[in-house]
Structure 1
Amino acid sequence: MIVVTGAAGFIASCLVSRLNAANFNDVVVVDNFSVEKKLPNIQGKQLREYVDRNEFFDWLDKNHAQVEFIFHLGARTDTTEQDHAVLDLLNLNYSKQMWQACVRYQLPLVYASSAATYGDGMLGYSDTEDALFPLYRPLNPYGESKNDFDNWALAQEEKPYFWAGLKFFNVYGPNEYHKGRMASVIFHAFHQIQQSGSMTLFKSHHPDYTDGGQMRDFVYVKDVVDVCFFLMQHRKDSGIYNLGSGEARTFLDLALNTFNALGRTADIRFKDTPEDIRDKYQYFTQAEMGKLKSIGYSQPFTRLEDGIADYVQHYLLPGRYY
């Protein structure tokens, strides 16, 4: 059996589809299944069992001998969350408990970290220097919770025989319908364009960037789950890895490609960045991807143009799930 936590969420549900496509059908899905808006993400998939996240560790105590691999992708992912107690419970302490269970039963583990750990990027976006990790200063409590767990994991003397933490950059793609404000800019652009024929981006409040010239490393969710699948098969070279496309692109690129995918003439407008996030806003992110490539991952990452076209035309327009 393969366990996937957060399985009704965005990235994890796409991973379940990727596993099913490779004929891994004994998938145990773990989540808070009372959040009904996420449930369409896992409908129609080949699944072995549903386990509530609060009951998972009891379940694992009884079934660990049948478990082959654990993907721990469940988390509180709202970057505007200010309740440290919630983040400590779901992102830090639950992950510690998962790690300790994987040590106890010698189970391989891949878990979700985040590029939010890098903060404003002043120390760069390199995943090769573990000594830098305690120096990062995330810009929000969500990033702090992910950085706290990365540092805790690195400090442990007892580790799973294989483990990998993945610092996700700006992931976009199908199955993010439920995420509301936290959905990708492409998702919001699509709906703005469909409703009004135009879309709005944040103005730049930084002298080095023009309006729409803010840059992010946008990575297609299908690439993300391909990396997860590779690590499940690889099972060596434990550590923390960046997971982006390796290429920063502007929000203007994103907007223009969304219009192109819809066959519409571009009409892009700008508004002030909300004050509650303005001082925490990242103007540039770009994953250094050499570490992942150095362990043998050789698949090319999807170009933004191609990823947006696939997402818009094959998923958003028909309302399909992956």
Structure 2
Amino acid sequence: MIVVTGAAGFIASCLVTRLNAANFNDIVVVDNFAVERKLANLAGKHLREYVDRNEFFEWLDANHEEVEFIFHLGARTDTTEQDRAVLDLLNLNYSKQMWQACVQYQLPLVYASSAATYGSGTLGYSDHDDALLPLYRPLNPYGDSKNDFDNWAVNQVEKPFFWAGLKFFNVYGPNEYHKGRMASVIMHAFEQINKTGSMSLFRSHNPDYTDGGQMRDFVYVKDVVEVCYFLMHHRQNSGIYNLGTGEARSFLDLALNTFAALDRVADIRFIDTPEDIRDKYQYFTQADMSKLRGIGYDRPFTRLEDGINDYVRNYLVPGTYY
């Protein structure tokens, strides 16, 4: 059996699809299944069992001998969440309990970290030096919760025989319909264009960047799950890894390609970045991908143009799931 937590969510449900495609069908999905808007992400998938996240560790105690691998992708992912108690419960303490269970039962573990741990990026975006982890200053409590766990994990004496923490950069793609404000800019662009015929981007308040020239490392979710699949088979070289493309692209590139995928004439307008997030706004992120490449992951990452075209034409327009 393969366990996937957060399984009804965006990235995890796409991972289940990838596992099914490789004939892994004994998948135990773990989540808060009371959130009904996410359940469509699992429709039609081959699954062995649904387990509520609050009952998972009791389930694992009874079934650990049958478990082959754990993907712990469940978390409170709202970057605007200010309740640190919620983040400590779901992102830090639950992950610690997962780690300790994987140590106890010697189960390999891949867990979701985040590029939000890098904060403003003043210390760069390299995943090579764990000594930098205590020095990062994330820009929100969500980033703090992810960095707190990364720090805790690398300092543990007892570790799973294989483990990897994945610092997801700006992931986009199918199955994010339920995410609301936290959905990718591409999904918001699609909705804006269909509703108004135009798209709004934040104006630059940094003289080093033109309006729309702010840059992110946008990574297609299909690439993310390929990395997860690779690590499930690799099971060596434990550690924390970036998961982006290694190539930053501008929001203007993103907007123009969304219009192109819709066969629409681009109409892009600029609005001021809200003052409440302006001092925490990142103008550039780009993953250093040499560490993952160095352990043998050699698949090319999807170009932004191709990813947007696939996402918009094959999922957003027809309203289908991956």
Confirm or deny a common fold (TM above 0.5).
yes
1:96-127 residue CA offsets vs partner (Å, 9 max, x unmatched): 00000000000000000000000000000000
The letter of the residue matching 2:82 is Q
Is the counterpart of residue 107 in structure 1 residue 107 in structure 2? yes
Is the counterpart of residue 21 in structure 1 residue 42 in structure 2? no
Residue equivalent to 1:315:
315
Residue equivalent to 2:8:
8
Question: How far apart are residue 278 of structure 1 and its match?
Answer: 1.1
Is the counterpart of residue 142 in structure 1 residue 142 in structure 2? yes
The TM-score, its normalising length taken from structure 2, stands at 1.00
Residue equivalent to 1:263:
263
Report the secondary structure of 2:178's partner residue.
coil
Residue equivalent to 1:59:
59
Residue equivalent to 2:87:
87
Distance in structure 2 (CA, Å) of the matches to 1:304 and 1:134: 32
Residue equivalent to 2:129:
129
Question: How far apart are residue 274 of structure 1 and its match?
Answer: 1.2
Structure 2 unaligned residues grouped into runs of 5+: none
Residue equivalent to 1:216:
216
Distance in structure 2 (CA, Å) of the matches to 1:245 and 1:319: 26
Residue equivalent to 1:156:
156
1:32-73 residue CA offsets vs partner (Å, 9 max, x unmatched): 000000000001100000000000000000000000000000
Report the secondary structure of 1:258's partner residue.
helix
The letter of the residue matching 2:147 is N
Question: How far apart are residue 205 of structure 1 and its match?
Answer: 1.0
* Coordinate RMSD, CA, aligned: 0.4
Question: How far apart are residue 277 of structure 1 and its match?
Answer: 1.3
Q: Which moved more, 1:132-141 or 1:273-282?
A: 273-282
Is the counterpart of residue 76 in structure 1 residue 76 in structure 2? yes
* 4+ long deviations beyond 6 Å: none
Distance in structure 2 (CA, Å) of the matches to 1:175 and 1:274: 28
Q: Which moved more, 1:81-90 or 1:200-209?
A: 200-209
Report the secondary structure of 1:44's partner residue.
coil
Distance in structure 1 (CA, Å) of the matches to 2:212 and 2:10: 26
Question: How far apart are residue 207 of structure 1 and its match?
Answer: 1.1
The letter of the residue matching 1:232 is M
1:264-319 residue CA offsets vs partner (Å, 9 max, x unmatched): 00000011111221111110000000000000000000000000000000000000
Distance in structure 2 (CA, Å) of the matches to 1:279 and 1:30: 37
Distance in structure 2 (CA, Å) of the matches to 1:145 and 1:276: 21
Structure 1 unaligned residues grouped into runs of 5+: none
The correspondence of residues 150-299 of structure 1 with structure 2, limited to 5 A, is: 150-299=150-299
Distance in structure 2 (CA, Å) of the matches to 1:60 and 1:277: 41
Distance in structure 2 (CA, Å) of the matches to 1:88 and 1:205: 33
The TM-score, its normalising length taken from structure 1, stands at 1.00
The letter of the residue matching 2:244 is G
Q: Which moved more, 1:272-281 or 1:111-120?
A: 272-281
The letter of the residue matching 2:213 is G
Report the secondary structure of 2:40's partner residue.
helix
Distance in structure 2 (CA, Å) of the matches to 1:205 and 1:71: 39
Report the secondary structure of 2:270's partner residue.
strand
Q: Percent identity?
A: 83
Question: How far apart are residue 226 of structure 1 and its match?
Answer: 0.2
Report the secondary structure of 2:177's partner residue.
coil
Distance in structure 2 (CA, Å) of the matches to 1:278 and 1:96: 33
Distance in structure 1 (CA, Å) of the matches to 2:84 and 2:42: 29
Distance in structure 2 (CA, Å) of the matches to 1:151 and 1:90: 16
The letter of the residue matching 2:293 is K
